[in-house]
A and B are shown apart, each in its own frame.
Chain A
Amino acid sequence: MSNQNMETEETYYSNYGPQGGLASGPLKLKMTLSGERVVAAEPDVGFLHRGIEKTCEKLQWVALPSLIEKVDYLSSIHGTLALSLAVEKLMKIEISPRAQAIRLIVSELNRIASHIYFLTTMAKACGAQTASQFFLRDREKINNLFEMLTGARLMYNYVCVGGVMSDITEGFIEKTHDTIKYLKPKLKEYDDLLFNNHIFTNRLKKTGILKTSDCISHYITGPNARASGFFYDVRALSPYCGYEKYKEFLERSIKPVTQSDSLDRLQQRVLEIRQSLEILSLEIDRVPAGTYKEKLSKDGKVPKGEAYSVVESSRGLFGVYVCSSGGNVAERIKLRTPSLSLLKVVPDILKGNEVSDVPGVIASLDISVSEIDR
């Protein structure tokens, strides 16, 4: 892979990972270096393969959400949500407005939590240990909310076919208001910690440039694509769970594209935290009355057929294809995860950068290895 450079300069080979603080999971990079410069980088995955898709064919429908949410453990709501939407398409169930509103709320909460965790890894990759602690402190608030609502802090198993597992608990809405009130001023603090810090911005500028054409040709979605000027947001393009109300808001608050570099992706995430907080503060007061879960038949069977549904996860388009033969067990489950398409552009992005930039660039892409390997 480094043959074209072999004649002119001396290169050497090095493995980067799979252990180490690069991404959220064991990602290995096979790197050819020339001094401190990256000549070629080739990602190698599969260290976290658990065979989730195959295991799904052995479990009953009701057991699937608890498995699917482990595909991307940082935004587990979105996985279960996509699965539930697909199964509901097959079963032709209409979800009550209350359940939809609750789904939207937890979806946005999870997005904020995931983006704050992204800021943590980003700060860590740039050597800002203290800043990362500050971000984790704020993520705790959202974890507390989830603990209040679902009883769990990371793997919620909350969204299910027919609605959500349990109704909104007492005091949840007030506490969500408090959390929004707490987080909104903190965004100013994030700006101070990240974008007003010259060391931080100078080392992220002009590193890891992701071109718009690459986003389109490799079908890169989510915050990375939006930071590069490719507006692909499932929430706005094919709304679900009542995102129709916020379609205009999402399309309006696009960040102007400047460099499409690591810093832009960082800014995009902070912007999306702000967006999600806005959506949350509107939606949390609009939760209608009604049932939170539809009554389903006791036999747990799903009608024969196939369905595909997509949601906007914290990392982009998350799709679930389900195929049922009419029994208790799924015929086939196939997942479309956003991080996998990112891996295809990693070699191009890293090429020419310095070794010092590699952790920053990889962290800025917010690659979730668990959803690539699944």
Chain B
Amino acid sequence: MIDLQEISPFSYYISTFMSENLHPVFVLGVSLVIYFIPLFYLSVAITTYMGRKTAADVQMRIGPNRVGPFGIFQYVADTLKLFLKQDSVVNNRKAWLHLAGPVLSIAFTLMAFLSIPVADQWYLANQKWSLLHVYLLMVAAQLFLFFSAYTSGNVFGVLSSSRILVAIAGFSVPFLLSIFNIILVSGGSSFVEVLAIQGGAPWKWMLFSYPTTAISFFVMYCSLLIWQGAPPFDILDSEEEIFGGYSVEYSGSRKWFIEQLKSLQLILSCYLLTGLFLGGGHFPFNLETFGRGAQAIQSLFFSLKVFVLVFISYWIRWSLPRTRLNQVIFFSFKVLIPVSIVGFFLTTVWLALFNGKGIGNLL
């Protein structure tokens, strides 16, 4: 018999609202749908809207304002339009990896969300090494993008595919080093354990509780920018250099999936940073009076942090020009890696000196 509480705490939470006779697999399916529909469409819609409005604000334009009040339904209109468009695929590009690439990449990116708790007990997959699982899924998602670009039969797609591999290399080492720093501090290898040592108040967040975790935050933020291929590191799909890179041969609904993927990558990055450094869904005040609704409030608090990070990311995105490929590698290997190694070393010194206590505990 499947023990829901053990394998998927969120499904267990859902099952408390449902009849006890239902099969656990059905409950798992229902909770998957409940978890992913807001994530896959609603949060991406909000992110896209925020991105457009932020871009407009930075560039002193108005932004979308026609469809719906303040243009909030522009994203819906875009979705409809792109799905009604012809999905044009030239005959010599029947490679299934090219056609399935965006969807597979989205699937793996979504899988990375499974083990990140948005509130107490609100996570779909209970994994012991979820920090590394997330890393592997992120790399897998980029690899599917690599395959789809490589099989696109376009010179610029192939150029982009080699750049994707470079970006994976540039992202992996600093990202893993900053994750090891967190594992060292928290003593756990899963999001649940990392969140357990954090609290609701800002001084109990991982970002401020140890002097060296801020370095990890910086390193992880930059490496995630490289992973996403977001400005200033948007070498993967730069419009002027390689004419869209991996997305050059997509049209219609597949183009929509690519756009969806970009937003999901941004949301995943902000999820990771919120869960690891900004206290996740921990609320500063006691929420016991709300009963089972407490988690809903926590998850809303979590989303608030995520969207603040999304806003900051878009702010950066629309402020900076693009770097060159070799500059990305330079930045990753000659700036981020030394910085994170120094941070790693300083963490060990701090932990040895103060018996593993953070700033909050010492004060």
Contacts and interface: CB of A to CB of B under 8 A. Distances in A.
Interface stretch (A108-116, A154-162, A194-202, A283-291): A194-202
A14 B234 CA distance: 21
Interface in B49-77: 55, 58-61
Contacts, number: 75
A359 B241 contact: yes
Contacts of B241: 355-356, 358-359
Nearest to B59: A133
A129 B231 CA distance: 11
B321 A359 contact: no
A358 B231 CA distance: 19
B327 interface: yes
A127 B239 CA distance: 8
A261 to B, nearest CB: 14
A168 interface: no
A200 B321 contact: yes
Contacts of A123: 321
A83 B240 CA distance: 36
Chain A binding surface SS class: helix
Given A126-B322, A354-B326, A356-B235, A133 B61 contact: yes
A213 interface: no
A235 B40 CA distance: 61
A124 interface: yes
Which of B55, B155, B232, B240 has the most C-beta atoms of chain A within 10 angstroms of its own C-beta? B240
Among A127, A134, A354: residue with most chain B CB under 10 A: A127
B238 interface: yes
Nearest to B154: A14
A127 B327 contact: no
Given A12-B155, A359-B240, A197 B324 contact: no
Q: Which size bracket describes the interface of A in this complex?
A: 20 to 34
Nearest to A127: B322
Contact of A125 (B232, B234, B240, B323): B240
Nearest to A121: B240
A43 B241 CA distance: 16
B323 A128 contact: no
Interface residues of B, number: 29
B238 A354 contact: no
Contacts of A358: 241
Interface in A172-214: 197, 199-200, 202-203
Contact of A127 (B55, B155, B162, B238): B238
Contacts of A242: none
A354 B321 contact: no
Interface in A337-367: 354-359
Interface string A102-143: 000000000000000000000111111111011001000000
A129 B238 CA distance: 12
A21 interface: yes
Nearest to B156: A14
A22 interface: yes
B325 A199 contact: no
Contacts of A7: none
B324 A357 contact: yes
Nearest to B234: A127
Given A21-B240, A36-B325, A355-B159, A199 B232 contact: yes
A129 B317 CA distance: 10
Residue of B59, B232, B242, B321 with most chain A CB atoms under a 10 A cut-off: B321
6 contacts: A14-B155, A22-B240, A36-B159, A36-B162, A127-B240, A129-B55
Interface of A: 12, 14, 20-22, 33, 35-36, 123-131, 133-134, 137, 197, 199-200, 202-203, 354-359
Given A128-B321, A200-B321, 11 more contacts: A14-B156, A36-B325, A127-B234, A128-B320, A130-B59, A197-B321, A199-B327, A202-B327, A203-B322, A356-B241, A359-B241
**Among all A-B residue pairs, the 7 with the closest Cβ atoms:** A127-B322, A128-B321, A133-B59, A14-B155, A359-B240, A356-B324, A126-B321
